Chain A
């Protein structure tokens, strides 16, 4: 009897249950809710752009295409470095993995700094709720800027959350909690970061590249 219990305890100790696929599937399901959250906003964009095509074109000229392009390249690069960090950790190269993640964090922060200057310039021109410039604009232009602030703002919030997630993962890599054989959390933070990148891939042409 006591032998049986001992045996069971032994098995319990050896077999530590870890479900990497389940963890990844959970994150994917969460990402789908994110797609539908932004999907609703894209739906609003599509509807209002259909109703006010001229207002949207007029308002889009206010946006800085160069700054938008730079931010696109920054985000794409940060996505690459997250993947490279996963490959490096799989190859047991912890230092290189951390290096790539630091680049990702730097890119994310740079993106936010650019966004700060971009929004700042709009505020300076009086484009904000009840701002002097916005009150003289047509309905379509006002709707465009409403969507611009909500969508890029929500996207920026996702960048902040993604950075916090990656920061947490970096701390766990540093503590050897995430290792070359147990890296699902790093992958999940990467998946989240890539989704944020994909949303920007659609935001960029829809807001910056209308003529």
Chain B
């Protein structure tokens, strides 16, 4: 039993997803809470036009932590990463096209 589980980790096709230990997950959580505190305190400073970018970058970093560790995508099958990649790229393309319309509208 121990042996087959060990082999699973080396397989390309992972049936049972590998989960990081208690400690790693708690560290990720501490990181997420710290980033929340940073984003709240940074919002208090007047950064002007940079404020939105900073807030979004922190939000993206936080969601990458959640996706890779809590949702263990980092250790999961490659197909799932491609799925998510296509989905995010599609959204970004639609967002860009919307803003082409908005910014060039007279």
Query: Which A residues have a C-beta under 8 Å from some C-beta of B?
Result: 20-21, 24-25, 28-29, 32, 35-36, 39, 43, 46-47, 50-51, 65, 69, 72-73, 76-77, 79-80, 82-84, 86-87, 90, 187, 190-191, 194-195, 197-198, 201-202, 204-206, 209-211
- List 8 A–B pairs whose Cβ atoms lie within 8 Å, in order of A's numbering: A43-B95, A50-B99, A77-B29, A80-B70, A83-B69, A87-B21, A205-B59, A206-B55
Q: Across the interface, which residues of A come within 8 angstroms of B80, CB to CB?
A: 24-25, 28
- Is chain B's interface secondary structure helix, strand, loop, or mixed overall? helix
Give the distance to chain B from A108, nearest Cβ to Cβ, in Å: 15
Least CB distance from B90 to A in Å reads: 8
**In chain B, what residue has the closest Cβ to A82?**
B70
| Chain B positions within 8 Å of A83 at CB level | 19, 25, 69-70
13 extra interface residue pairs, beta carbon distance < 8 Å, beyond A69-B40, A198-B66: A20-B15, A21-B14, A47-B99, A50-B103, A73-B36, A80-B28, A87-B22, A187-B17, A190-B71, A201-B59, A209-B39, A210-B52, A211-B46
* Chain B contact residue count (CB 8 A cutoff): 50
Chain A residues whose CB sits within 8 angstroms of the CB of B91 once the complex forms:
35-36, 39
Most chain-A Cβ atoms within 10 A of its Cβ — which of B66, B71, B83, B98?
B71
Q: Mark B83-96, 1 if CB is under 8 A from A, else 0.
A: 11001101100110
- Within 60-74 of B, Cβ neighbours of A (below 8 Å) are at 62-63, 66-67, 69-71
Q: How far is the CA of A210 from the CA of B22 in the complex (A)?
A: 35
**Chain A min CB distance to B23 (Å):** 10
B13-39 to A contact mask, C-beta < 8 Å, 1/0: 111110111100110110011001001
Taking CB as reference atom, which chain A residue is nearest B61?
A201
Contact B25 A51 (CB under 8 A): no
Tell me the complex Cα distance, A65–B55, Å.
14
Contact A69 B98 (CB under 8 A): no
Q: Which of B33, B77, B79 is close to A76, meaning CB atoms less than 8 Å apart? A: B33
Query: Using Cβ atoms and an 8 Å threshold, which residues of chain B touch A29?
Result: 83
- Asked, given contacts A21-B14, A43-B95, A46-B98, whether A201 binds B79 with beta carbons under 8 Å apart, the answer is no
List of A residues within 8 angstroms of B70 by Cβ: 79-80, 82-83, 190, 194, 197
